[in-house]
Amino acid sequence: MSDIPPDLARLRSSIDNIDAALVHLLAERFKATQQVGELKAAVGLPPADPAREERQIARLRGLAHEAGLDPQFAEKFITFVIAEVIRHHEALASVEPGAAPTAGEPAATPAPSAPPVTCTTGPVDVPGGTPPRG
């Protein structure tokens, strides 16, 4: 470990800084989505909003393209994050007093049109690439 090339050490140091920034931004993002979840549960809005998610994905694919990031990866990334958010929202909807009429159900079954992402260890398989939604 101590004999890595200096260029590699320099790059890794930058990657570590970027990762720290990413983690802090994700923390802020979840603070915001936590509020969204509470608001949705209070007014009885469903945890998932497929139309909003489609717009988010399309926008981020565009931003990724401009920034030189693989748009397919950007889509996988935001889908990954949104799945976690919906899981939180569902948990909130199942306990919040003003939740949807059939409280409890949303937490048990994910919104059909926005299936959450399950991440497991194993060989990467992106069958024929992710079908672009947007």
Q: Tell me which amino acid residue 59 is.
A: R
3-state secondary structure of 126: coil
Q: State yes or no: residue 33 binds a second copy (CB under 8 A).
A: yes
CA dist list (Å): 78 to 11, 32, 93, 117, 124: 25, 15, 22, 10, 18
CB of 104 to a second copy, least distance (A): 16
**CB neighbours of residue 99 within 10 Å:** 23
- 106 close to 112: Cβ distance less than 8 angstroms: no
Q: State yes or no: residue 22 binds a second copy (CB under 8 A).
A: yes
Site string for a second copy, 66-105 (x = CB under 8 A): -xxxx--xx-xxxxxx-xx--xx-----------------
Q: State yes or no: residue 125 binds a second copy (CB under 8 A).
A: yes
3-state secondary structure of 10: helix
Q: State yes or no: residue 107 binds a second copy (CB under 8 A).
A: no
- The Cα 70–Cα 34 span in angstroms is 28
Q: State yes or no: residue 3 binds a second copy (CB under 8 A).
A: no
Residues near a second copy, by CB under 8 A: 1, 5, 7-8, 11-12, 14-16, 18-33, 35-36, 39-40, 43, 45, 51-52, 56, 59-60, 63-64, 67-70, 73-74, 76-81, 83-84, 87-88, 110, 115-126, 130, 133
